[in-house]
Amino acid sequence: MSKAGPKNNYCVPPLHVHDHVTQCAAHFLNWFRSSSPEHIRSVLRCGLKGSGGLVDEVDYWFQNCLEDASEPSPELGYWDAAEDGPWTYDTLSVAEVAKVVWDHSRGWKPVDFAWYGYTTSHKAETEDPFGASRTHS
């Protein structure tokens, strides 16, 4: 019997990928986490389907990923084919991806998004998750 490795204690629960929609939602969360806390707060206040809400945010990300993944890549910082693989999500429903993110992150504060993907041990070594945050409209 092999010895089990150390358990990863995540700052916020990771999104478990079990299909193409959840895989896309995980990529979105990984991108969205570096938005400013003010921007995240604004999106969350607008709700899932409200103007400026999460569906609009996922749509914004989709459109920029499509452009970024095109050849030759404009390298906008939304989708890196070398790191993320080919963009294969263009047939997915933006609303469905947003709903997965909404349901998974229910109850999170804006700062919690910055810690998505981080373990508690990594958090202890990191000063400010928003140190390089970005904003967009």
pLDDT, tens digit only, all 137 positions of the chain? 455 556 778 889 999 999 999 999 999 999 999 999 999 999 999 999 999 999 999 999 999 999 888 866 667 889 988 888 899 999 999 999 999 999 999 999 999 999 998 888 877 777 666 554 444 54
- Listed in sequence order, the residues at least 6 apart from 135 whose beta carbon sits closer than 8 Å to its beta carbon are 35, 36, 38, 39
pTM of the model: 0.84
